[in-house]
Amino acid sequence: MIDICDFAVGLSRQLYGRTIASERPGHRLAETWHPLGVVGVVSAFNFPAAVWSWNTAVALACGDTVIWKPSELTPLISQACDRLLDRAAEEVGAPRDVHRLLLGDRAIGERLVDDPRVALVTATGSTRMGREVGPRVAARFGRSLLELGGNNAAVVAPSADLDLAVQGIVFAAAGTAGQRCTTLRRLIVHRDIADTLVARLTSAYAKLPIGDPFDEGTLVGPLISTTALDTMRDAVARAQAQGGKVLVGGGRRLTDTAPRAAYAEPVIVRVDEQTDVVREETFAPILYVLTYDTFEEAIALHNDVPQGLSSSIFTRDQQEAERFLSSEGSDCGIANVNIGTSGAEIGGAFGGEKETGGGRESGSDAWRAYMRPATNTINYSSRLALARNVSFL
């Protein structure tokens, strides 16, 4: 949140338009950008401060006002963020009525989505949620920026540095209890190294520190609810029914740390093919392992899911790395080399393709989503250049 605020302050001096050469003598074409007006931010539970801030900070820098509907599961963090922004505005004498917080259930969010005064709705959540939000905003000719589900994969090539790969895979797959949009959910490993890598991963999983996330050293905290835990268990059972083999974990609920919290063991499941449960996003620490023989097969497996958020490849082969990043490789909005799928820096635009929604937030030129362009023609001559040499004199 702090970093994106710093970024937005600098961005406020870089909302560049263009000067375009005109075919008409004595004329100049220019592109200018203007605020959209009201931006509605609908955020999810898993990053209750970050997702709000990278939408709100950029929107405010672009001259918009913001109405925020956070997840009903995170009301305290939402109120804290709202008060911090209000206090900051008061301290520097900035307007304090540019941001409003709406706490409530689904009905509150629906009113925000349907209100024609809201120029842009930027919504983070599941693909199911996006299927509802997108058409409703489009029906009133509003704009939407959707950040939806991810079913992120990493390809591990024969030349990969396995020490590096194990660290990147475990953190991306098990960290935050698998509750990131960019969590690693599918591992596509070359057959020659699959057994070696899987053995190292299962050994690492067996030692994962699970517990209170406020304790230093904890990697895996609780799931958001017991409902999420039930969903995780159901996905594991479906994967087993479809031929998958659980290698470690299993979704067993851990009650020693906090009996009422939904702590669970992260799971690795080895599968022979991408069945329907593998092609779905389960928001929990489940990692499906597949094998491949050729690079082309790996890319085909990687791209054969409806989602397209984050991806990575572990390889020391430059040709493979470049092919993975090319238009013939990963079809995701984020493609990494020798690093896991999770995490993102604010300087790069964040978002994905296909059922992930196609939106981009935060860095690069994502600010354009929060503004409207206008093309300006300026005639500084004493003549009016008309098409087909029309003359009214």
312-326 confidence digits (pLDDT tens) = 999 999 999 999 999
2-61 confidence digits (pLDDT tens) = 999 999 999 999 999 999 999 999 999 999 999 999 999 999 999 999 999 999 999 999
Question: What's the pLDDT score for residue 252?
Answer: 65
Question: What's the pLDDT score for residue 212?
Answer: 86
Q: Which of 84, 85, 45, 47 is closest to 65 using CA atoms?
A: 85
- Residue 287: pLDDT above 70? yes
Q: Which of 224, 41, 46 is closest to 133 using CA atoms?
A: 41
Q: What is the pTM of this model?
A: 0.93
- Residue 385: pLDDT above 90? no
Residue 37: left if φ>0, alpha if ψ -120 to 50, beta else—which one? left
How many angstroms separate the CA atoms of 61 and 63, rounded? 5
Q: Domains in the chain, start-ordered, CATH in brackets?
A: 2-148+357-378 (3.40.605.10), 152-337 (3.40.309.10)
Question: What's the pLDDT score for residue 261?
Answer: 85
How many angstroms separate the CA atoms of 195 and 200, rounded? 9
- Residue 307: pLDDT above 60? yes
Q: CA 9 → CA 38, 87, 92, 252, 280, distances in Å? A: 19, 17, 14, 46, 38
Question: What's the pLDDT score for residue 393?
Answer: 64
161-206 confidence digits (pLDDT tens) = 999 999 999 999 999 999 999 999 999 999 999 999 999 999 999 9
To the query of whether residue 147 is one of the catalytic residues in this protein, the response is yes
How sure is the predictor about 250, in pLDDT bands with cuts at 50, 70 and 90?
confident
- Residue 303: pLDDT above 80? yes
The catalytically annotated residue of 147, 265, 281, 361 is 147
Question: What's the pLDDT score for residue 211?
Answer: 86
Residue 251: left if φ>0, alpha if ψ -120 to 50, beta else—which one? left
* Residue 206 identity (one-letter amino acid): A
Q: In the predicted model, what is the mean pLDDT of residues 359-387?
A: 93
Please name every residue paired with 361 in a beta bridge, in sequence order, or none if there are none: 350
How sure is the predictor about 256, in pLDDT bands with cuts at 50, 70 and 90?
low
67-95 confidence digits (pLDDT tens) = 999 999 999 999 999 999 999 999 999 99
Question: What's the pLDDT score for residue 255?
Answer: 60
Q: Is 112 in contact with 67 (CB distance < 8 Å)?
A: yes
Average pLDDT, the chain: 94
Q: CA 92 → CA 82, 86, 87, 95, 123, distances in Å? A: 16, 10, 9, 9, 30
How sure is the predictor about 390, in pLDDT bands with cuts at 50, 70 and 90?
confident
Question: What's the pLDDT score for residue 96?
Answer: 84
| Residues whose CB falls within 8 Å of the CB of residue 31, separated by 6 or more in sequence, listed in order | 17, 18, 19, 20, 373, 374, 375, 376
Question: What's the pLDDT score for residue 388?
Answer: 74
How sure is the predictor about 340, in pLDDT bands with cuts at 50, 70 and 90?
very high
Q: Is 302 in contact with 155 (CB distance < 8 Å)?
A: yes
Question: What's the pLDDT score for residue 11?
Answer: 95
Q: Which of 156, 166, 152 is closest to 334 using CA atoms?
A: 152
- Residue 387: pLDDT above 80? no
Question: What's the pLDDT score for residue 355?
Answer: 97
Q: In the predicted model, what is the mean pLDDT of residues 125-135?
A: 95
